[in-house]
Amino acid sequence: AQSVTQLDSQVPVFEEAPVELRCNYSSSVSVYLFWYVQYPNQGLQLLLKYLSGSTLVKGINGFEAEFNKSQTSFHLRKPSVHISDTAEYFCAVSESGGSYIPTFGRGTSLIVHP
Amino acid sequence: DTGVSQDPRHKITKRGQNVTFRCDPISEHNRLYWYRQTLGQGPEFLTYFQNEAQLEKSRLLSDRFSAERPKGSFSTLEIQRTEQGDSAMYLCASSRYPDHGGYTFGSGTRLTVV
Judge whether A92 is closer than 8 Å to chain B, CB to CB: yes
pLDDT, tens only, A63-94: 999 999 999 999 999 999 999 999 999 999 99
Burial of A7 (0-12, 13-18, 19+ CB in 10 A): middle
**Interstrand relation of B65-68 and B75-79 (parallel, antiparallel or unpaired):** antiparallel
pLDDT at A97: 78
Nearest to B102 among A9, A49, A107 (CB): A49
Residue A72 to residue A105: CA distance in whole angstroms:
14
pLDDT, tens only, B32-77: 999 999 988 999 999 999 998 888 888 888 899 999 998 888 999 9
Interface test with B, best of A32, A42, A74, A101 (most B CBs within 10 A): A101
